Amino acid sequence: MAHSEVLLLKPVESLGGEGDQVRVRAGYARNYLLPRQLAAPLTQANRKHVDALKKRRAGREAAELTGAQELAGRLGKVALAFAVKTGDGGKMFGAITAADLHAKITEAGITLDKRKVHLAAPVKTLGKHEVKIKLHADVSVELSFDVVSENPIVEPAAEAKADEPHITEKKSARHAPKKDGAEPAA
């Protein structure tokens, strides 16, 4: 298989950032990277641009890091609470998902990409919970939130005992144990 060396002009997912020299398949470079101007062929003239690209990359990464740290400080001050409908015993109808958390954070006035909210599993219980928000490779925040009931919680055990009627069992003559070998009357 033919390979070619290219110089990345823009960051490419799972390949590298701008200024990186990477070796890729010739068809990938020819059909994807070069037409989209994500990379340039590696020539002597292009090698001179590497320093400029690396400086631009360092500046961009530093700006992203400071922005993520600032956003982490603002997220640390946010208090989130969800009022949900509950049934018997405080059992929730539905669940709190990452999309719900993102909507609540946006309502609080913080602009955040929804893919940065990492909730392991939807929350289906009342109480205090935590979610991880990964803002940058080096910056992540643990945000806690409360899930409370909209309506008062009634314990089902106390309610069931009050409403439960007494049930008595009747044994039918047909299924009664046989005495002295006689057949039961039908």
Question: What is 74-163's CATH number, 3.10.430.100, 3.40.50.1580, 3.40.50.1110, 3.40.225.10?
Answer: 3.10.430.100
pLDDT grade for 172, boundaries at 50, 70 and 90:
low
Specify the CATH superfamily of domain 3-47: Ribosomal protein L9, N-terminal domain (3.40.5.10)
Q: CA-based Rg of the chain, rounded to a whole angstrom?
A: 33
The answer to whether 3-47 and 74-163 have equal CATH topology is no
Q: Give the Cα separation of 18 and 37 in Å (integer).
A: 12
pLDDT grade for 166, boundaries at 50, 70 and 90:
low
So what's the pLDDT on residue 142? 92
3-state secondary structure of 91: coil
Q: Give the Cα separation of 172 and 67 in Å (integer).
A: 80
User: What average pLDDT does range 24-39 have in this prediction?
Assistant: 94
Domain residue extents for the chain: 3-47, 74-163
User: Both tokens of residue 50?
Assistant: 């590497």
First vs last Cα of the chain: how many Å apart?
A: 90
3-state secondary structure of 18: coil
DSSP E strands in the chain: the ranges are 3-8, 21-25, 39-41, 80-84, 117-118, 127-134, 140-149
The answer on pLDDT for 179 being more than 70 is no
Judged by phi (left if over 0) then psi (alpha if -120 to 50, else beta), residue 74 lies in alpha
Model pLDDT for residues 73-130, shown as the tens digit of each residue: 999 888 899 999 988 877 888 899 999 999 999 998 899 888 999 998 999 999 999 9
So what's the pLDDT on residue 105? 92
